[in-house]
Amino acid sequence: MSTTVTIKGQVTIPKSVRDHLGIVPGSRVDFRRTADGHIVIEPATPAPSSRFAQLRGHAGEGMATEEIMALTRGEP
């Protein structure tokens, strides 16, 4: 597979590679050089989740208002 580098140094990762690596819009990737000089692309290690991560996509019953407020304040 090959792709073209834009004037900004950007490339499009082929769909089959994105699918294989589980890369979706917004994903971060790492590039590393192997001992023999090859470059490997791999999904970046996810950043530690924030205290707000538990709330993402949550719209139903579950946490009470006071629990949510304590979470956003960083209280135990």
Rounded distance between C-alpha atoms, residue 36 and residue 40, angstroms: 11
Which pLDDT band, with edges at 50, 70 and 90, does 64 fall under? Answer: confident
The answer to whether the beta carbons of residues 28 and 21 sit under 8 Å apart is no
**What one-character-per-residue DSSP string does 5-67 give?**
--TTS--PPPHHHHHHHT--TT--EEEEE-TTS-EEEEEPPPPPPPTTGGGTT--SS-S-HHH
- Range(s) of the domain holding residue 56: 48-76
For residue 4, being part of any structural domain is answered with no
Q: How many domains does the chain have?
A: 2
For residues 34 and 59, state if they share a domain.
no
Q: Write out pLDDT tens, residues 24-59.
A: 888 889 999 999 999 999 888 766 666 666 666 656
3-class secondary structure, 52: coil
